[in-house]
Amino acid sequence: MLNETELIDGCIKNNRAAQQVLYNSYCRKMMVVCLRYAKGIDEAEDILQEGFIKVFHAIKNFRKEAKLETWITRIMVNTALNAQRKKMYLYPMVDVEDLHLPEQEISLSGIHFKQLLELIQSLPQGCQIVFNLFAIEGYSHKEIAELLGISEGTSKSQFARAKSLLQQKLLKESTYYERYGEGRI
Amino acid sequence: MERGEFNDLMKDAFKDAEATPSENVWTNIELDLEKAEGGDIRRRLFYYKMVAAASVIFALIAGSAALYVLNTSSTVENQQALLTESQITESQSKNTIENPEKISEARVSSEGNSNQRIEPKVIEKSRGEKNNNAGNSNDVNKRNTDFENEGGQTHKTLSSNSNQVKTNSSLASSKKNPINTNSVEQDEKHLTNQKTYRNVNDDQMIFQPNSVKTVSTFSSPKKLDAINIKQEETDVEPDAGLLLLAKLALREKELQGEETKKEKRSERLWTSVGVAAGGFSSVNSGVAPTLTSQSTASASNSFVQNVQVANQQAKASGSTYSVGVNVGTKISNRWIIQGGLNYLKQGSDYTSNSVVTSSDFKNFSVASLNELARNSYDAQLVSTASYQVNNTLQYINVPLQAGYIILNKKVGIQVNTGVSTDLFLQNTLTPEGGNLDKSTQGSGSESPYRTVNFSGLIGTEISYKVGQHYRLALNPGVRYPFSSIYKSDVGISASPLTFDVGLRFRYIFH
C-alpha cells in the first residue's frame, strides 16, 4: 500500500495507477462536497470529474503544508464555484428580505446527511452557495463577498435567507417524522 | 439557536459523509488525462516540427547567401586571374604596354604595309579634349599611336599635339571616319596610303577590371566575333589586341574548368558515425474497424478487454534512440548519395489493467499484442489494478538517401531524403512493479510486428568542417513507415511518426 507521499510522487509522474488510487481514496468524500454545490447527481459528477482533472494537473504544486484532503476539497469548491458563477451571471445575487421565521431549536441528530443534502440542493442558487461557503467551509462573509464579487451585505442576507429556508424545511421534516415516524426515509 | 452552533451542526452532519460517484467519472478522468498526455506529445511533436522547419528555412537562407557570396567571389577571382594573365601576356609581348588597364587600347592598330612594324603605344587618355566626339563623350577614347616605319624609309610620328589618331568608338555608328581630329586630318594624306583604321566597339574593347559586366563580356569567345572590325585595307598581321583578348577568354575558361574540377574533387567519399535521439508518436494508429465492431457485438468480455489493451499499446508514444555508421559519396557537384547501417531502439509506456493467464491460472504474463498474436484474441484475461508496461522495440535500419548540397564551405548545409529498410529484431515488455516477468519476443510468426518494413526519411544536415578530413554534423529528421509496423492479420495499424536529431562525426577520405 502506497503512503501519501509515494502516492503524490506517483501522480506527479503521471502514473495512472497512483492517480487511480488517489481518486479512489477521495472520490466519495469529494462527491459529497460537489453534491452540496450542485442541484443533482449529474451536475455533481461533472464538478467531481473536472475537479480531479485539476487535482492531477496541479498536484506538482502541492506543498504538503496542508492536508491533502483539505487541498483537494479547496480545488473541488473552487471548481464548483466556477461552475456556479456561470449561472450567477444569469441570476445575479441580490439582497433578499429576511423571512422573519420564528427562531426555533432544530436538531439535526435524527436527520441523515442525504436528507440534508436534498434540502441544501433545494435552496435557491445564491443561497445554496453562500450557505455552503459560510456554514460548512467556514469562510467569512468578507471572503465570500470577494470570492463571488458581491457585497458583504448581500452575502449576509443570502445566508440569513438560506438559514431561514432550511429551518422551515427542517421543521416540516421533523413535524412529519413526529407524525409518521422515520419509515419514510 | 446560535449561528455558530448551527454551523457546527452542519459541519458535523457532513463530517464523515460519503457518496459513491458512478464509474464513468473515473473513466472520463482517465480519458481526459490520456488526451492531455497526447496533447503533450503533440506539443512536443509541434516543437520538433518547428525545429525541422526552422532548420530548413535556415538552410535555405544560408544557402542562398552562400551562393550569392560564392558567385561574387568567383567573379572577382576570375577578374584577378585575368589581370594577372594580361600582365604576363603584356610582358611577353613585343608591344610595350605601360598600364594593364589600357590593354584594350592596344587593339587599335594600323597596318597596311608588311614592311612596317607597328608598335601601338598608349600614351594617355585625354577625355574632354576639344576633339572628343560629342555624341559619344563617355565611350570615346582618344588614342595616340606612334607609328614607326621599321624599314627606316619614312618615319612618321603621330604625337598627341600634332598627329592624333582617334577611333570612332561607337559601334552603332557605321560611319567610317577613323580620323576625327583636325590634327590627324592634317596628316591624313600621308597615312591613308599606309594604314588601316578600324572602327571598334569601345564598349566591348575597353577593359575595366572593376566592372563585372565588362569582364563578363570577355568570358565567351563568341563575343569576340561580335567585335565590329572593319578592314578598309588588307590585313597583313593579326591584331595584337584581339589576340590578347582571345587568350584572356581562353585562360578564363581554363580557370573556370579547373575550379569546377576542384569542387568536384573535394569531399568525394566519406564515412560517418552518429547517434540520434528523439520522439515518436502513434496518434494515427488504431484497432481495425472489424475488430471494434466484433467487440461491441458478439465477442466475449476478455476479447473486448484485449482489444482495449491492444489499442493502448498501439497508440503509445515514446522516445527513440539510434546509433549507426554511414558511407556517402558525391555523385555530382551538388548531389550526394549515402547509405548505412543503424541500430534503432523505440521505447513507449502504456497502461494495462489485465494480465494473461494460463489455463491452470499458475502462470501470468503481461497483456499485450504479443499475447494477442499468439492466442488470437482468445487469451484468458484477468482484470487487475492498472499497471504500467514499458514496450521496447529494436530494429536494424538500412537507410539509403539522396542529398542536395546547398552549401559546401566550412559550414555545410544539405537536405536529404530517402528510404530505410527496417528489420525488426525484437520487442521487450517490462511490466512495472516486478510481479510479472519481463518478456522478449523476437521476429517471426509469433511476433505481431512485421519483420521487414520500409520507412520514408527526410531531413537536413548542418555540418561544420573541423579539419581537412573531419566534419561534425547535426541532423534533424523525420521518419515515417510506409505501412503499419504491425502485421496485417493482427488487426492493429500503427505508423509511428518519428522526429529525431542526430549528431554525426564524418571522416572524409578524399
Tell me the C-alpha to C-alpha distance, in Å, between residue A103 and each of A45, A109, B7: 36, 18, 15
Of the pLDDT bands very low, low, confident and very high (cuts 50, 70, 90), residue A31 is very high
**DSSP labels for B271-283?**
EEEEEEEEEEE-T
* Confidence band, pLDDT 50/70/90 cuts, at residue B283: low
Residue B411, SS3 per DSSP: strand
Res. B187: pLDDT tops 80? no
Helix (H) or strand (E) holding B407: strand B381-408
Query: Which residues neighbour B241 within 8 Å (Cβ) at sequence distance 6 or greater?
Result: B103, B104, B105, B106, B107, B108, B109, B120, B205
Residue A53 has pLDDT above 80, yes or no: yes
The answer to whether residue B69 scores a pLDDT higher than 60 is yes
**Phi–psi pair at B423, nearest 5 degrees:** -105, 115
CA dihedral of A52, A58, A64, A67, whole degrees rounded to 10: -30
Closest residue in A to B27 (Cα) is A49
ipTM: 0.83
* d(CA B33, nearest CA chain A) in Å: 7
Give the count of alpha carbons within 13 A of B57, CB side only.
Answer: 6
Please check the confidence at residue B117 and state whether its pLDDT lies above 60.
no
Residues of A in contact with B32 (CB under 8 A): 49, 53
DSSP string, B213-232: HHHHHHH-HHHHHTS----S
Cell digits of residue B421:
529498410
Q: Is B30 on the interface with A (CB under 8 A)?
A: yes
In chain A, what residues touch B24 (CB-CB under 8 Å)?
45
Q: What angle do CA A183, A184, B5 make, to 5 degrees?
A: 95
Residue A56 contacts B where some CB pair is shorter than 8 Å: yes
Question: What's the pLDDT tens digit per position in B318-350?
Answer: 899 999 999 999 988 889 999 999 999 999 888
Higher-pLDDT residue of B145 and B45 is B45
pLDDT in tens, A153-179: 888 888 888 888 888 887 777 666 565
Name the B residues in 374-393 with CB < 8 Å from any A CB: 385-388
Question: Does any CB of chain A come closer than 8 Å to the CB of residue B31?
Answer: no
pTM above 0.80, yes or no: no
- Please check whether residue A88 touches B, CB under 8 A: no
Strand residues in B282-334 grouped as ranges (E):
286-287, 318-330
Q: Does A49 touch chain B (CB under 8 A)?
A: yes
Q: State residue B487's pLDDT score.
A: 83
Which is more confidently placed, B147 or B487?
B487
Nearest chain A residue to B30 by CA: give it. A16
Nearest residue of chain B to residue A111 (CA atoms) = B13
B7 close contact with A: CB closer than 8 A: yes
- Interface A–B counts its CB contacts (< 8 A) at 92
- Please indicate whether, in this complex, the C-beta atoms of B385 and A17 are within 8 angstroms of each other: yes
For the segment B365-373, the average pLDDT, to the nearest whole number, is 70
What's chain A's average pLDDT?
A: 82
Interval B490-506 mean pLDDT: 86
- CB-based contact, B33 to chain A, within 8 Å: yes
B419 and B400 Cβ atoms separated by less than 8 Å: yes
| Residues sharing a CB contact under 8 Å with residue B201, sequence separation 6 or more, in sequence order | B169, B170, B171, B226, B227, B228
Distance between CA B205 and CA B209 in Å, rounded?
12
Q: Is the pLDDT of residue B183 over 60?
A: no
Element (H, E) at B36: helix B23-92
In tens, the pLDDT along B296-312 reads 444 455 555 666 667 77
Helix (H) or strand (E) holding A43: helix A41-58
Chain B residue numbers touching A23 (CB-CB < 8 A): 26, 29
The mean per-residue pLDDT over the stretch A45-61 comes to 92
Question: CB distance A49–B28 less than 8 Å?
Answer: yes
Give the model's confidence band at B34: pLDDT under 50 very low, under 70 low, under 90 confident, else very high.
confident
Share of chain B above pLDDT 70, in %: 55
Of all residues in chain A, the percent with pLDDT exceeding 70 is 78
Pick the closest to residue B366 from B294, B277, B438 (CA basis).
B438
Question: Which among A19, A27, A44 has the least Cβ separation from residue B33?
Answer: A19
- Closest residue in B to A29 (Cα–Cα): B18
| Closest Cβ opposite residue B1 in set A16, A103, A113 | A103
